[in-house]
Chains A and B, each alone.
Chain A
């Protein structure tokens, strides 16, 4: 055990874990048979494939133009595993650019890391680990509080660079480091970059695919392994392609698009697969909307979702990261398992009825469903634009909500936007003012809790068997707390419209 302490990694370079030094050596000296010179981020962000000169002889089969067309996902994984090409079904060791964990799965992952690599082991790279307490924060549950303490102790011990801590639970604003919901914080803090590989101990890690990167959720044991080794054995998924064209009507949001897709292919339609979203509609979406789209690929069983990076992506990243990144794109001849086409201009606002995200229905078909509450929040529907969308509906109606309406901004940044940004067409009012006039609950402290029904004292948790319209991602039995509760998943437009009537409501009733 002690011998493991300072070198948790196999000393033999031929073994399946290699340390940084070995990797660098191999990458620059003995791997010239690879066709595509690699951007080895471990060594320098500045070395990019397009720039690198050909250094030595290559196999004829690997020179020249692309011999084997690949999808975006295949390309990202190929580069991260230092291979010239990969095909779906191959298992490959992938170097991880960022590992994210949070207060629910972090302590267990840390426990495994310590048990397996040694009590005194060091993480593979203190700058590539992002730790975000966000699930069970504003609770008096002692074990939940302890779990945040475990994260803090580990981050101090390992000198983790990105730890978004919270100590004063009475006022989240007193914690400048605290962000909130991890998937949104990752984007806002510049940890999502095109072409990279991001793993997280949370199934909605796939959200980051919006940035044209490979992002997927893993368990504690895999995360414990990555903490020590910086890489993971991954199977290359085949890709399903979703082409969404047409002008998006002003009553639709990305949530409607992904509910449409999940309804189409079912909750297991993309199991073990990558979902790539393209088309003029996708190109027109903002980053936050693309995040909504990718966020719910796991609800179709998807391993990851990707949107090709474009000027919208680059613009979003401008003030968020100074790290060099290199986007990759699917080759024209890339093989897709299947392709689905949607004319978005013909779609209508949707909901997913209880108790499955693929239980799709038109919002207007559910107009007789009486509801007890509305929840706007989470990694899916708690971003700045989600609150802007809800405010737009409240503003257009000028009415008050008929059921309790809970608002939980995803992050501290979103909270500040809700209180600071003027809503277009409102004469300078902020979302918070519009929400107050509509009779909503005061926007609460940023966290994930209610979406998954955390500790009993979680704000907006469903403790009674009520009916809720929610901008979240799952409506399985018991998801938001009570086993007999009923959750209708919907866009922020539909959620706000439903709050105004007390029934599931098509937002066109107010937006047209």
Chain B
């Protein structure tokens, strides 16, 4: 994949949250120099994610699951059925420890991780997230409460969701490591809702998420909800993770 020709930005801007004037000289001489693309150039055309098919990120490269995405696959809208969970869904429930022998960077085992996504939920969840003998879920959007992904730092958690075909999680808030792992791997969009959507949506409702407008529409109930903007993390996930993003934007050499 010729990622070099697909740089998102020909004119990178310096990225830093520190804007103290006294620091700018240091920034230009120190080795810590980060280029970020001008995100306003992000394509805005809409590709609707089908209800039940695989994540296009995964299907781009059948050999290596963490495929390097290209701008042409930009998704700003997700459409599908949702699976609703509660507060404090920890990573043991997303992928129980007995399945951590599966190595996410191994393609076959990556697929297998998908089959166990959310299998650790208590039996009070009567609907299975992934049917037995399936690797993929029919729910491409997970809706949760606060502190989603707390607990263990296992990257297997966002990977299992992504491998199962989840495009986005929408929760009130996230535990830090899960959020970071989601962005670093580019497996799922960890989106934040403004309110407790998890109490107003039901598993099986048809949902559309419009990323650029930070909006979630529940077609089953006819209600719309505001999401918090994904910000700088968006382009990283879109690219397929930090490595792909860094290559696309010229931060690190292309392969």
> How close is A472's CB to chain B, nearest CB, in angstroms?
12
On whether A222 and B180 interact (CB within 8 A), knowing A15-B33, A62-B22, A453-B96, the answer reads: yes
Q: Are B97 and A453 in contact (CB under 8 A)?
A: yes
Report Cα–Cα, A479/B23, bound state, in Å: 46
Complex: chain A residue closest to B102, CB-CB: A143
Report Cα–Cα, A108/B181, bound state, in Å: 13
On whether A218 and B122 interact (CB within 8 A), knowing A13-B31, A116-B243, the answer reads: no
Interface size class of B (residues with CB under 8 A): 35 or more
A26 part of interface (Cβ distance < 8 Å): yes
Complex: chain B residue closest to A136, CB-CB: B101
Residues 77-104 of B, flagged 1 when their CB comes within 8 A of A and 0 if not, give: 0000000000010101100111011111
Q: Are B184 and A222 in contact (CB under 8 A)?
A: yes
B202 part of interface (Cβ distance < 8 Å): no
Q: Are A34 and B243 in contact (CB under 8 A)?
A: no
On whether A478 and B31 interact (CB within 8 A), knowing A4-B255, A268-B150, the answer reads: no
Which parts of A388-436 form the interface with B (CB within 8 Å)? none
Q: Which of B23, B103, B184 contacts A108 (CB 8 A)?
A: B103
Chain A contacts for B41, CB-based, 8 A: none
- Which has the most chain B C-beta neighbours within 10 Å: A83, A86, A272, A476? A476
Q: Which of A81, A89, A268 contacts B147 (CB 8 A)?
A: A268
Report Cα–Cα, A28/B35, bound state, in Å: 24
Chain B contacts for A315, CB-based, 8 A: none
Q: Are A203 and B101 in contact (CB under 8 A)?
A: no
A197 part of interface (Cβ distance < 8 Å): no
Q: Are A108 and B252 in contact (CB under 8 A)?
A: no
> How close is B101's CB to chain A, nearest CB, in angstroms?
4
Chain A contacts for B243, CB-based, 8 A: 112, 116, 221, 225
Report Cα–Cα, A1/B174, bound state, in Å: 36
On whether A271 and B173 interact (CB within 8 A), knowing A17-B252, A453-B96, A453-B97, the answer reads: yes
B133 part of interface (Cβ distance < 8 Å): no
Q: Is the interface of B mostly helix, strand, loop or mixed?
A: loop
Q: How many inter-chain residue pairs (CB < 8 Å) link A and B? A: 205
Q: Are B103 and A83 in contact (CB under 8 A)?
A: no
Chain A contacts for B253, CB-based, 8 A: 3-4, 10
Report Cα–Cα, A111/B185, bound state, in Å: 13
Q: Are B173 and A268 in contact (CB under 8 A)?
A: yes
Q: Are A108 and B105 in contact (CB under 8 A)?
A: yes
Which parts of A462-512 form the interface with B (CB within 8 Å)? 474, 476-479, 481, 483-484
On whether A219 and B93 interact (CB within 8 A), knowing A203-B153, A268-B147, the answer reads: no
Q: Are A218 and B154 in contact (CB under 8 A)?
A: no
Chain B contacts for A225, CB-based, 8 A: 242-243
On whether A271 and B176 interact (CB within 8 A), knowing A30-B29, A115-B64, A474-B92, the answer reads: yes
Chain A contacts for B151, CB-based, 8 A: 203, 298, 474, 476
Chain A contacts for B181, CB-based, 8 A: 219-222
A residues contacting the other copy or chain, number (CB 8 A): 80
Q: Are A221 and B241 in contact (CB under 8 A)?
A: yes
Residues 163-201 of B, flagged 1 when their CB comes within 8 A of A and 0 if not, give: 000000000011111001100110000000000000000
On whether A454 and B98 interact (CB within 8 A), knowing A15-B252, A301-B150, A301-B175, the answer reads: yes
Chain A contacts for B30, CB-based, 8 A: 26, 31, 82-83
Report Cα–Cα, A10/B31, bound state, in Å: 11
Between A and B, 13 residue pairs with Cβ closer than 8 Å are: A16-B33, A16-B251, A83-B23, A83-B30, A104-B154, A107-B106, A108-B105, A221-B155, A356-B88, A477-B92, A477-B93, A478-B93, A483-B123
**Top 6 closest A-B pairs, CB basis?**
A111-B105, A18-B31, A219-B155, A219-B181, A217-B153, A143-B101
A interface, CB within 8 angstroms of B: 1, 3-4, 10, 13-18, 22-23, 26, 30-31, 33-34, 59, 61-62, 81-83, 86-87, 89-93, 104-105, 107-108, 110-112, 115-116, 135-136, 141, 143-144, 146-147, 150, 201-203, 205, 217-222, 225, 233, 267-268, 271-272, 298, 301, 303, 356, 452-456, 474, 476-479, 481, 483-484
